Amino acid sequence: MGYFNKQDAISGKQGKAYVIIDGRNEELFYAKTVEATIEKNKVDVPVLGKTNTPQRSAGWKGSGTLTIYYVSSAFRQLMRKYIQTGTDFWFDLQIVNEQPGSTAGKQTVILKNCNLDSVIAAKFDATSDDMLDEEMPFTFEDYDILEPFSSIQGV
């Protein structure tokens, strides 16, 4: 029986994120967390003679949350432009996970055509010792795995 080698675990602190807006590639060094989820849409398919209701996949949707330190006005400016002109904006997010010493290697994923659901227009908190951050929910239309993790072996 094999066991997971602890050196193969990937630390979230080693990640990197990049945003690609209008052809500009900017490192999100002020990002705290990002999580993107793919959820399958399922429909009921009642079958004569069965007491359960089987389901089958009928599409998917992608959504996520990007949390950053409250130090950039970039996304607020994009939202302001949308408010003023009605012209929406999309961007790609590239997420890199790599842990030195892990045989899993590196994984690079790109989330395509991301669109923010909301941004914080302004914020302060005089009662907290924590640094200000902002959580921005988003949706995405497609994704690709540019570099997959390598297969790992148990020890």
Our measurement of the distance from residue 67's CA atom to the centroid of its chain's CA atoms, rounded to an integer in Å, reads: 10
Look at residue 5 and give its three-state secondary structure: coil
d(CA 2, CA 41): 36
pLDDT band at residue 21, thresholds of 50, 70 and 90?
Answer: very high
pLDDT of 134 over the 80 cut: yes
**C-alpha count within 13 angstroms, C-beta hemisphere, residue 56:** 4
Greatest extent of the chain over all pairs of C-alpha atoms, in Å:
64
Ordered by start, the domain boundaries in the chain are 6-147
Structure confidence at residue 148 (pLDDT)? 97
Q: How confident is the model at residue 155 (pLDDT cuts 50, 70, 90)?
A: confident
> Containing H/E element for 13?
none
Residue 2 pLDDT > 90, yes or no?
A: no
The stretch 8-24 carries a mean pLDDT of 93
Q: What CATH class does 6-147 carry?
A: mainly beta
How confident is residue 153, by pLDDT bands cut at 50, 70 and 90?
confident
Predicted TM-score (pTM) of the model is 0.90
Output the six-digit token pair for 97: 């996970």
pLDDT in tens, 26-83: 999 999 999 999 999 999 999 999 999 999 999 999 999 999 999 999 999 999 999 9
Distance (Å, rounded) from C-alpha 79 to C-alpha 44?
38
Task: Give me the sign of the Cα torsion angle 68, 38, 6, 95.
Answer: negative
CA atoms within 13 A on the CB side of 45: 7
